[in-house]
Structure 1
Amino acid sequence: MSEGSFPAWLERVGAWSSQTVTERQLAALSPVGTRPSLPVYLARLWQRRHFIWADARARALGSQRGTMLGNVWLIAKPMLDALVFFVIFGVLLQTSRGIENFIGYLIIGVTLFPALQRAVTGGAQVIHNGRRMIRGFTFPRAVLPVAYTLRSAIDTLPSLIAVLILVAVTPPHAWPTWRWLLIIPIFILQFLFSLGLTFVVARITTLLPDMRNIWPFLTQFWFYGSGVFFSYERFIDHPVVLAFMDWNPGYLILTMYRDCILYATVPDSRSWTILLMWSLGMLVTGFVFFWVKEESYGAER
């Protein structure tokens, strides 16, 4: 730089330094990492929908990578689980009495209920597993539970297809009917319910990390209390208790799947209403519950 140009450069620097920020510009600034309003938060989440889909699709069907059979285990493992439960509860303990097409009943329960369990056990890990991304980038933290739940739904699809094939080829056969199309809205409502549940579990576990060790025990109680391999009517004859148990969303989802797939019937309006209430109620409540603590998810613990 020449000597003649130095004063001009210095003069420009002085001019820049003398510039002031207007009050309007200051009002537009906000601290980094603060929780935005709910409408703004939803808009930012929608803007990242392509990332959510790409992340879920990239991670889906990857739980068995590194094994010889690969994704075959996504279908084989639930079937082996169903075989174990059939021998113990169907043959030895005779819980199959009074249940039409117990093999199909068991296959649906053992194969499809774990997706609900993963919403709890896997949802408890989403913030912990994404902590590096949280500390390195600015984005709505709800991206992580949404991407995880979407990935879990994709993982469930091969198992659901396997269920439809197995109940059709295994005696007593459950042949396809138009009612199988009702699986789609049931699956969507299950996804919405699981997403809301993941939001709730993610926030609780972030505040109380020890819950990661407790959720699996609670989901086991839920598993055994949702009629996965037995019918309530055989063990409970009190109508009030039965009505209360019917409000269990896990039992309700399995029952609606069984009605459509095994028994060629349309679930009654009461079941649709209750499941819709559970799904939308859990989604809205869980999302707001998660959003309220948005600022705390990147904190050191």
Structure 2
Amino acid sequence: MSETTHDSAVAMSAPPASDEGLTAAQRAQKYGLSQSGARPSLPEYVRQLWDRRHFISAFASAKLTAQYSQAKLGQLWQVATPLLNALVYFLIFGLILKADRGMDKHIYIPFLVTGVFVFTFTQSSVMAGVRAISGNLGLVRALHFPRATLPISFSLQQLQQLLFSMIVLFVIAIGFGSYPSPSWLLIIPALALQFLFNTGLAMIMARLGSKTPDLAQLMPFVMRTWMYASGVMFSIRAMLAESPEWVANILQWNPAAIYMDLMRFALIDGYTHENLPPHVWLFALGWAVLAAAGGFIYFWKAEERYGRG
């Protein structure tokens, strides 16, 4: 009797004969098991992001509201900060260095303010992207969700901030003689393309910043160099009139300069197509698609590694 019981116990504790010789991966496939936190396929990843679109929007709005919650002026700093930057640049570049060469006085101030606002949109998106993962490790490690929601949310936050600031930009444009016209409708596609470009760049920086936190200390210097090379405070064509034409073309075709030029062309009377580089809309679309698609795939490929190590 005891011998029979012993044989039964051995039979029950042994693995089923059908599993003998199978590797761990083969057993997992047989029983429908999957790796925890594994990277989903690209179409599935896109579907997961779409399912969380309301969270992305709400998270961006919450971050925007909390950004200046400790300041007495609150959300007014969204407008005051770029305006103060524009004032400093006007005093230095407009009055002292005479960087307004080639432009009428009534064009230069809206030209400068538009450049500061538009470049700040890209700059803030990049800086927020660098810290999107490394600055939210508690959230990343506690919850399972597509990590791309974070850089997308931060880029959307910066877009919302720019839209809030656009009211002041409109007032300045009107105050210097640029009244609403059909060309103002071009603001919509210009901002949409810039948002795509910024989001792709933010995702690239989010992946790089997740493994190299010191990148956040380096990026302000990179962004400052990019700003000076993009014609925020001066007309590239006028400033480089005596330089080889290819130098001005390269600077005008960089994405930050292209999106600024499109916004200036849409808003400012007197800033005509002659101030734009050739095929400007084609370049704007190309930069947006390249950054958005390339940045998204680059970020997705490291999905399972975020928050680990």
Structure 1 unmatched runs, 5+: 1-13
Structure 2 unmatched runs, 5+: 1-11, 20-26
Deviation, 1:82, is: 1.4
Query: Are 1:225 and 2:204 counterparts?
Result: no
Checking the alignment, whether the CA contact within 8 Å between 2:207 and 2:299 is kept in structure 1 is yes
The answer for the alignment partner of 1:281 in structure 2 is: 290
Query: Are 1:49 and 2:43 counterparts?
Result: no
The answer for the alignment partner of 1:137 in structure 2 is: 143
- Opposite residue 41 of structure 2, the aligned amino acid is S
Deviates more, 1:135-144 or 1:189-198: 135-144
The answer for the alignment partner of 1:150 in structure 2 is: 156
Pick one of 259, 277, 298 that aligns with 2:307. Answer: 298
Deviation, 1:63, is: 2.1
Q: Deviations over 1:220-260 (max 9, x none)?
A: 10111110011112332311112212221001111111111
Q: Deviations over 1:38-88 (max 9, x none)?
A: 111111111111111111122224322122221112112222221111111
The answer for the alignment partner of 2:194 in structure 1 is: 190
Distance in 1 (alpha carbons) for counterparts of 2:46 and 2:33: 20
Checking the alignment, whether the CA contact within 8 Å between 1:128 and 1:206 is kept in structure 2 is yes
Identity of aligned residues (%): 36
Closer, same or farther: CA 43–27 of 1 in aligned 2, 3 Å = farther
Distance in 1 (alpha carbons) for counterparts of 2:150 and 2:125: 13
State the TM-score, normalizing by the size of structure 2: 0.85
Matches within 5 A, 1:111-260: 111-169=117-175, 171=176, 173-236=177-240, 237-260=243-266
- Opposite residue 275 of structure 1, the aligned amino acid is A
State the TM-score, normalizing by the size of structure 1: 0.87
Distance in 1 (alpha carbons) for counterparts of 2:88 and 2:302: 42
Checking the alignment, whether the CA contact within 8 Å between 2:114 and 2:264 is kept in structure 1 is yes
Pick one of 269, 272, 281 that aligns with 1:272. Answer: 281
Aligned length: 281
Deviates more, 1:272-281 or 1:121-130: 121-130
Checking the alignment, whether the CA contact within 8 Å between 2:253 and 2:277 is kept in structure 1 is no
Pick one of 47, 50, 69 that aligns with 2:73. Answer: 69
The answer for the alignment partner of 1:5 in structure 2 is: none
Closer, same or farther: CA 259–31 of 1 in aligned 2, 3 Å = same
Q: Which runs of 4+ in 1 moved over 6 A?
A: 266-269
Checking the alignment, whether the CA contact within 8 Å between 1:61 and 1:154 is kept in structure 2 is no
- Opposite residue 291 of structure 2, the aligned amino acid is M
Distance in 2 (alpha carbons) for counterparts of 1:67 and 1:209: 27
Closer, same or farther: CA 27–231 of 1 in aligned 2, 3 Å = farther
Closer, same or farther: CA 233–25 of 1 in aligned 2, 3 Å = closer
Deviation, 1:263, is: 2.6
